[in-house]
Amino acid sequence: MTPNYPFNCWYVAATSDEVGEGLLARRLLDRPVVLYRRSSGDVVAMEDRCVHRAYPLSEGRRDGDRVVCGYHGFSYGPDGCLVDVPSQESVPPGARVRSYPVHEQSPFVWIWLGDRRAAALRPPPRVPWYGDGVAWASTTEVLRVEANYLLLHEHYLDLTDVFVMHPEAVPPDIEILPPLDEVEVSERSVSYSRSTPPSRLAAWEAEATGLSPDTAGVRREEGTFVSPALHVQHYAIDPESGKAYELLRIQGFTPESPGATHVFLQMARNYATDNDSAGDFLRTMFHEWATRDAAVLETIQRRLGEDTVARRDINVKADRAAVRARRIAMEMVDEESGRFTLNRILTASG
Amino acid sequence: MTTTEQATRSRAAYREVEVDLEVRRREAPADGVVTLTLAAPGGEDLPEWTPGAHIDLIMTPSLVRQYSLCGDTASRGEWRVGILLDPNSRGGSEFVHDKLHEGTTVRVRGPRNHFPLVSSPRYQFIAGGIGITPMVPMIEAAEATGADWRLLYGGRARSSMAFTGELERYGERVTVCPRDEQDTNFRKSLESALSVTDDKTLVYCCGPEGLLQAVEDGCGHWPDGSLHVERFSAKALEEPSPDALRSFEVECQRSGLTLMVPLDKSIYEAAEEAGVDVLGSCMEGVCGTCECDVLEGEPDHRDSVLNDAEKACNDTMMICVSRSRSERLVLDL
């Protein structure tokens, strides 16, 4: 399977709390990476492979801000430069492992694995969807799904599966999911929105918000493909009176390889913010939800892997945000691979 | 970048991002040229874009103009456009001149990109007049990634050519050829830039029609796909074309059948009725399921799946909604 993800893109490498004093090994875009936090607090990311005998540096140990290989004791500085070879006095000049630009914006640590020089042209997406976050409470989770990252994007850009896969989560007065109101696009992003007729609350909504199950309100749902690395979903319950109860699921999708994806989830809510049990309830519920979805996507990935010739599957109207997102990702792949896919000549108007 | 008299109509299936932006700065980098720096009044981030992208300025519902973004791709809060104040303007530059002062607000749609910078070790950029605007971020990207690049920049007079000051720092990479200066000759420089073909170089050109013609002719012996051009006036391809035929013939090559497609039927329907094995789903040109290879003929694209460049290539079409501009289409059906 050839990679269908762009390298010149910021991806989430880890959540902030995963990176500490220890050496965190993680395969990202099919490259071995080791992450750790320097004494200054800054995160370091470098290739997880000693330049001497290809042993993973993550199997070694820290020595201050340095990493010492667990095989022959070669030491590397945080910039990836080889600084010590125990068996000889001199260090081979210029020997280094590749280090990667990182940018921490809690709760995510972003990494750039593409052309290093292009990193400055595209800053990582900011995650400002809940303003300064003061009136919000959030939880994070890391999952791994054995499916291509585009299957995850497509899944979250078309939630019409909910009626089939999670019927208990559908508000009781909603019998069919209304069509998408709007799919909004720009050069690099796709966003859909939909609103439903008023409904009483599903059991999970009442439990999480603390509202009476008879509370009626419309639901506003938005999903955004921010980049190949990031999906943001916004779900609001708008009661007839009072404030909206908003839930955000901000998900970093980072290919581990063409066949598997790391999912970094931040879930934030603007209600029950000082109620930990509401947070625990939502976390457990969406964990079970995501696990069920992951099992389906993994099964699909295996079935796709059985195809010996490329097959075209059918899309429907509800897929139009997903269709567009896939195109954006593939255009990015083509542009950076320098493939002459198209001579994009516009026709002159008369 | 300018023009198209009418608004590029929002597609039914997709709506482009539209925001009201404030003119933060208005500058005059050359005679008859202004740059506007636009930002959200509340300072929010603007959508991401890449070199070659353009936006619509929606001046009035019937007065919409496209301008290439010429600022810094890494600046999330601001967009910059360069605008030629054309004395023979059909309204756009007059509006910019009279109305778009610092502190005023204008509705903006996009960005979109029909002129993307494909990764390459070498670039030859060629700009004529205000066609320099998309080249500015392209040059920054080429410079940042260490590509080997050259710019040939022609114009009427040095004083009318924007960004020559910014470009000075690149030294010999940049050749500026004002027509009124005796010691430069744009045509000769162009000939020499394109004389030797190179399969590692991409040529990007934006400028008036005469320049594009000359560059297209000059690249005739270059490998396919080397030349990328952007014209000042782009056709809104999603509009049904006046060239679209009411009825036309479709040869389904694999099935060996030839069908007539009348006004009241789609290609998809005509093929299905004739027993041709076709695959379709949304019937609105949004899902891409019925995409079909075009072997001969010129389709009239009406879908929302293909981008304008792909439509212009005419090598594939959505047969549920798209029709034909040629009497006969040969499809891989």
Chain B environment of A131 (Cβ under 8 Å): none
Residues A181 and A47 reside in one and the same domain: no
What is the interface pTM, i.e. ipTM, of the complex? Answer: 0.85
Q: How far apart are CA B299 and CA B288, in angstroms?
A: 16
Residues A240 and A296 reside in one and the same domain: yes
Residues 6+ away with beta carbon under 8 Å from B222 = B194, B197, B203
Question: A132-136, A140-144, A332-336, B318-322: which range is least confident on average?
Answer: A132-136
Residues A265 and A301 reside in one and the same domain: yes
Residue with tokens 């979109």: B112
Question: A34-48, A55-69, B9-23, B74-88: which range is least confident on average?
Answer: B9-23
pLDDT (tens digit per residue) in A70-120: 999 999 999 999 999 999 999 999 999 999 999 999 999 999 999 998 898
Q: Which one of A118, A317, A327 has the shortest CB-CB distance to B145?
A: A118
Per-residue confidence (pLDDT) for residue A132, from 0 to 100:
67
Chain A environment of B244 (Cβ under 8 Å): none
Task: Examine the fold and report which residue of A90, A121, A152 is the final residue of a domain before the chain moves on.
Answer: A121
The range of the structural domain enclosing residue A52 comes to 10-121
Residue at A127 is within a domain:
no
Is the pLDDT at A247 greater than 80? The verdict is: yes
Residue at A2 is within a domain:
no
Per-residue confidence (pLDDT) for residue B61, from 0 to 100:
83
Question: A41-45, A199-203, B286-290: which range is least confident on average?
Answer: B286-290
Number of domains in chain A: 2
Chain A environment of B118 (Cβ under 8 Å): 334-335, 338-340
pLDDT (tens digit per residue) in B235-283: 333 455 677 888 999 999 989 999 999 999 999 999 999 999 888 888 8
Q: Place A182 in a pLDDT band, splitting at 50, 70 and 90.
A: confident
CA of B279: which chain A residue's CA is closest? A314
Tell me the average pLDDT across A39-61. Answer: 97
* B119 near A CB under 8 A: yes
Residues A244 and A290 reside in one and the same domain: yes
Q: Which one of B113, B141, B281 has the shortest CB-CB distance to A121?
A: B141
pLDDT (tens digit per residue) in A185-216: 999 999 999 999 999 999 999 999 999 999 99
> Is there a contact between A108 and A127 (Cβ–Cβ < 8 Å)?
yes
pLDDT (tens digit per residue) in A292-314: 999 999 999 999 999 888 787 88
**Long-range residue pairs from A17-21, CB within 8 A, at least 24 positions apart, any chain:** A17/A107, A17/A140, A18/A109, A18/A142, A19/A43, A19/A109, A21/A62
- A303 vs chain B: nearest CA distance in angstroms? 20
Residues 6+ away with beta carbon under 8 Å from B47 = A186, A187, A188, A189, B17, B110, B111
Residues A235 and A158 reside in one and the same domain: yes
Chain B environment of A315 (Cβ under 8 Å): 281-282, 287-289
Per-window interface: B 167-196 vs A, CB < 8 A: none
Highest-confidence segment of A9-13, A315-319, B206-210, B261-265: A9-13
Chain B environment of A335 (Cβ under 8 Å): 50, 116-119
Tell me the average pLDDT across A168-195. Answer: 90
CB spacing of B112 vs A334 below 8 angstroms? no
The total of other beta-carbon atoms located within 10 Å of residue A229's CB is: 26
Question: Does residue B122 sit in helix, strand or coil?
Answer: strand
Residues A112 and A153 reside in one and the same domain: no
Backbone angles phi, psi at A151, to 5 degrees: -65, -35
Residues A248 and A333 reside in one and the same domain: yes
Residue at A345 is within a domain:
no
Tell me the average pLDDT across A32-59. Answer: 97
Task: Examine the fold and report which residue of A77, A93, A121 is the final residue of a domain before the chain moves on.
Answer: A121
Residues A255 and A157 reside in one and the same domain: yes
- B5 vs chain A: nearest CA distance in angstroms? 11
Residues A70 and A184 reside in one and the same domain: no
What percent of chain A is modeled with pLDDT above 70? 95
Q: Where are the beta strands (DSSP E) in chain B?
A: 15-16, 18-30, 33-39, 53-60, 63-68, 78-84, 105-113, 122-128, 148-155, 174-178, 201-207, 227-231, 248-252, 257-261, 291-296, 299-300, 316-318, 323-324, 328-331
CATH assignment at residue A331: 3.90.380.10
CB spacing of B47 vs A189 below 8 angstroms? yes
> Is there a contact between A258 and A1 (Cβ–Cβ < 8 Å)?
yes
Per-residue confidence (pLDDT) for residue B238, from 0 to 100:
45
Residues A151 and A263 reside in one and the same domain: yes
Per-residue confidence (pLDDT) for residue B10, from 0 to 100:
34
Residue at A143 is within a domain:
yes
Is the pLDDT at B39 greater than 50? The verdict is: yes
Tell me the average pLDDT across A259-287. Answer: 95
> Is there a contact between A346 and B231 (Cβ–Cβ < 8 Å)?
yes
Residues A291 and A174 reside in one and the same domain: yes
Q: How far apart are CA B213 and CA A159, in angstroms?
A: 48
CA of A319: which chain B residue's CA is closest? B287
Is the pLDDT at B133 greater than 50? The verdict is: yes
Chain A environment of B231 (Cβ under 8 Å): 346, 348
Residue at A350 is within a domain:
no
Is the pLDDT at B1 greater than 60? The verdict is: no
Residue at A287 is within a domain:
yes
**Long-range residue pairs from B211-217, CB within 8 A, at least 24 positions apart, any chain:** B211/B126, B211/B128, B211/B131, B211/B154, B214/B187, B214/B190, B215/B126, B215/B190
Per-residue confidence (pLDDT) for residue B240, from 0 to 100:
58
Q: How far apart are CA B194 and CA B205, in angstroms?
A: 12
Query: What are the CA-CA distances from residue B40 to residues A221, B67, B113, B205 (Å)?
Result: 24, 18, 21, 31
CB spacing of B141 vs A118 below 8 angstroms? yes
Per-residue confidence (pLDDT) for residue A339, from 0 to 100:
58
For an interface test with A, give the residue of B48, B109, B293 to mutate (most A CBs within 10 A). Answer: B48
For an interface test with B, give the residue of A116, A117, A184, A187 to mutate (most B CBs within 10 A). Answer: A187
What percent of chain B is modeled with pLDDT above 90? 65
Residues 6+ away with beta carbon under 8 Å from A331 = B116
Chain A environment of B286 (Cβ under 8 Å): 317, 320, 323
Tell me the average pLDDT across A268-284. Answer: 94
Per-residue confidence (pLDDT) for residue A241, from 0 to 100:
85
Per-residue confidence (pLDDT) for residue B245, from 0 to 100:
84
CATH assignment at residue A72: 2.102.10.10
What's the sign of the alpha-carbon dihedral B13, B291, A349, B133? positive
Is the pLDDT at B8 greater than 50? The verdict is: no
* B120 near A CB under 8 A: yes
Residue at A132 is within a domain:
no
Average pLDDT, rounded, for chain B: 88
Residue A313 in tokens: 């599957």
Q: Which one of A115, A314, A342 has the shortest CB-CB distance to B145?
A: A115
Task: Examine the fold and report which residue of A86, A121, A156 is the final residue of a domain before the chain moves on.
Answer: A121
Task: Please enumerate residues of A whose Cβ is less than 8 A from a Cβ of B.
Answer: 115, 117-118, 120-123, 125-126, 128, 182-189, 227, 312, 314-317, 319-320, 323-324, 327, 331, 334-340, 342-349
Residues 6+ away with beta carbon under 8 Å from B139 = B125, B149, B151, B167, B170
CB spacing of A128 vs B45 below 8 angstroms? yes
Chain B environment of A182 (Cβ under 8 Å): 15
Of B168, B172, B175, B141, the closest CA to residue B70 belongs to B141
CB spacing of A347 vs B312 below 8 angstroms? yes
Q: Which one of A186, A319, A349 has the shortest CB-CB distance to B110?
A: A186
Average pLDDT, rounded, for chain A: 92
Of A128, A301, A328, A321, the closest CA to residue A229 belongs to A328
Question: A148-157, A175-184, A295-304, B253-262: which range is least confident on average?
Answer: A175-184
Question: Does residue B111 sit in helix, strand or coil?
Answer: strand
Residue at A5 is within a domain:
no
* B235 near A CB under 8 A: yes
Q: DSSP of A282-314, one letter per residue?
A: HHHHHHHHHHHHHHHHHHHHHHHHH-SS--PPP
CB spacing of A117 vs B146 below 8 angstroms? yes
For B282-296, give one letter per residue: b (16+ CB within 10 A) or e: bbbbbbbbbbbebee
Per-window interface: B 13-52 vs A, CB < 8 A: 13-17, 44-45, 47-50
Q: Domains of chain B, with CATH numbers?
A: 18-111 (2.40.30.10), 122-231 (3.40.50.80), 248-331 (3.10.20.30)
Residues A163 and A287 reside in one and the same domain: yes
CA of A314: which chain B residue's CA is closest? B289
CA of A321: which chain B residue's CA is closest? B14
pLDDT (tens digit per residue) in B65-80: 889 999 999 998 999 9
Tell me the average pLDDT across B123-131. Answer: 96
Highest-confidence segment of A330-339, B9-18, B203-212: B203-212
Beta bridge partners of B229: B205
Per-residue confidence (pLDDT) for residue B5, from 0 to 100:
30
